[in-house]
Amino acid sequence: MNIDLLIKNGLALEYDKEPTINSIAILNGKILDIGKDLEQKYKASQIIDAADKIVMPGFVNTHSHVAMSYFKGLADDLPLQEWLSKHIWPVEAKFLSAEFVEDAALYGCAEMIKNGITTFSDMYFFGDQTAKSAEKVGIRAVLGEGVLDYPVANYQNADEIFAYIKKMHHKYLKSELIDFAVAPHAIYTCGKENLIKAKNLAQELGILLHIHLSETKKEVADCINKTGMRPVEYLDSLGFFEGNVVVAHAIWLNENEQNILAKNNTSVSINTSSNLKLASGFNSFRSYIEHGINLSLGTDGVASNNNLSMLQEISLTAKLQKALNDDPTFLPDKDMIKIATIGGAKALHKSNQIGSFEIGKKADIILIDVNNIETQPMYDPYSQLVYSLSSEQIKDVIINGKIVMKNRQLINIDAKELIEKAKYYQKKIIKFNSMK
């Protein structure tokens, strides 16, 4: 039988199985077979020798702003509100255009792949352009079009955004890589009316709702002052959690709020780096897990992280959670990898397609070289992934059965061109800031 791709002799991390040297046969974008001696069984158009490599499902990044890639390092060491209102929003007001987003998203998608991310869930504007860039790079994406009460990007009001989402949903309905989502920015930028409209639209189209929630203590205090309820309770009173929802950050949830999310099968996207850097705070997620809330990991945008390393996010989250719980046994390495892969897939309601190695699932696979000084000896690949490896060791990335990075070289785009363009925009942004 002919197949498209054979990944042979890698240390395969199959879901809930012991790591085993195995080969993987890929046909039509999906995993056809996993086992030994597949070379005899199939005739492959392409073969990757994965000896000395970990072969695992790609990371699922559940919260990002991919087109903010040119704002990396633009403003640091500031509180969230000041960072947004004095730095990010002014440059966005000046530069946001379809062309800018397409370029910046292309860069961001490339950076995601270099970090082993095979699916990301985004929140931004000009989703059509982001979709084009994601397809060009070859990455899977759930693109949440941002919803705010006031004019933003190319929209005069939220109704225009809702109409756009509907249009995009239909435009990309048959896309192998792209889904659209409704992404009300936050409860402090979106009023009751638009939150309800957002929820209704997501339910009507059967797509995801993606929102920033309970990111800072101020947000919680303001919400209580305004509504008499905490953020999750407030959204619940609007019926917001009836659909498929991912809440990003969700740091400050009390018992009742955790019960609400668990009852509604709402997932949380943990963004540890961003929360630490903006000093939004941190909380133990132990009781979230005990309540049965599905956890996933997000990098947030590079403007607030400032990188897209899922391995760093995994490592940082594991260590922080252990320290917070005064318990080194909390969130062991295997559990952390699940959060970053199948947890993300569940959050995006795609766990029947991605997030683990199983026959019939999409072939979204990363190969990690462990034959290095930094990564030997290797007693346990999960331990290496959480505590030792860096993105530099992620060598090959396969998405939807296609190789999109080979030996750290991007296949579908010219990295040099991307870098030149980033420098070009950097100059323009510096000039704008100097005239402010």
Closest CA to 390 of 374, 407, 376, 411: 374
Burial of residue 420, with CB atoms counted within 10 A of its CB: 0-12 exposed, 13-18 middle, 19 or more buried: exposed
* DSSP assignment string, 286-320: HHHHHHT--EEE----TTTT----HHHHHHHHHHH
Nearer to Zn ion, 103 or 300 (CB): 300
Site string for Zn ion, 68-107 (x = CB under 5 A): ----------------------------------------
Task: Indicate the angle between helix axes 158-171 and 192-205, nearest 10 degrees.
Answer: 10
C-alpha distance from residue 322 to each of 58, 291, 316 (Å): 25, 18, 10
Rounded distance between C-alpha atoms, residue 77 and residue 126, angstroms: 28
Minimum distance of Zn ion from residue 431's CB (angstroms): 27
Tokens of 23: 């080969």
Binding segment for Zn ion (CB under 5 A), chosen from 78-86, 128-136, 193-201, 295-303, is 295-303
Cβ proximity to Zn ion, 220 vs 404, nearer residue: 220
Buried (b) or exposed (e) across 64-87, using 16+ Cβ within 10 A?
bbbbbbbbbebbeebebeebbeeb
Q: Which stretch binds Zn ion (CB under 5 A): 75-83, 126-134, 299-307, 319-327?
A: 299-307
Residue 248 beta carbon to Zn ion: minimum distance, rounded to whole angstroms: 5
Q: Which of residues 12-71 bind Zn ion (CB under 5 A)?
A: none
In the complex, least distance from residue 300 CB atom to Zn ion, rounded to whole angstroms: 5
The H-or-E segment that residue 53 falls in is strand 53-57
Would you say 65 or 395 has its CB closer to Zn ion? 65
Within 13 Å and on the Cβ side, how many CA atoms surround 101? Answer: 22
Q: How many binding residues for Zn ion (CB under 5 A)?
A: 1
CB of 59 vs Zn ion, minimal distance in Å = 17
Question: Could you say whether residue 219 binds Zn ion (CB under 5 A)?
Answer: no
DSSP string, 322-361: HHHTT-TTSS-HHHHHHHHTHHHHHHTT-TTTSSS--TTS
Binding mask 364-403 for Zn ion (x = CB under 5 A): ----------------------------------------
Q: Does 300 bind Zn ion (CB under 5 A)?
A: yes
With CB under 5 A as the contact rule, which of the stretches 101-109, 253-261, 294-302, 360-368 interacts with Zn ion?
Answer: 294-302
Shortest CB 301 distance to Zn ion, Å: 6
Kindly tell me which of 62 and 194 has the beta carbon lying closer to Zn ion: 62
Tell me how far apart the terminal alpha carbons of the chain are, to the nearest angstrom: 64
| Shorter beta-carbon distance to Zn ion: residue 3 or 340 | 340
Q: Is the CB of 22 or the CB of 121 nearer to Zn ion?
A: 121
**Which of 317, 311, 343, 345 lies closest to 330, judged by CA?**
317
> Looking at beta carbons only, is 90 or 239 nearer to Zn ion?
90
Residue least distant from Zn ion (Cβ) = 300
Near Zn ion by CB under 5 A, which window of 45-53, 139-147, 283-291, 296-304?
A: 296-304
**Interface with Zn ion by CB under 5 A: which range of 172-180, 194-202, 260-268, 300-308?**
300-308
- Cβ nearer to Zn ion, comparing 79 with 292: 79
Taking CA atoms, 308 is separated from 34, 111, 156, 298, 411, in Å, by 30, 7, 32, 9, 19
| Binding piece for Zn ion, criterion CB under 5 A, among 73-81, 84-92, 292-300, 388-396 | 292-300
Neighbour tally for 173: CB within 10 Å: 11
Q: Which is nearer to Zn ion, 300 or 364 (CB)?
A: 300
Shortest distance, CB of residue 222 to Zn ion, whole angstroms?
Answer: 18
236 vs 300 by CB, closer to Zn ion: 300
In the complex, the smallest distance separating the C-beta of residue 44 from Zn ion, rounded to whole angstroms, is: 41
Residue 171: CB atoms within 10 Å: 14
Residues in contact with Zn ion by CB under 5 A are 300
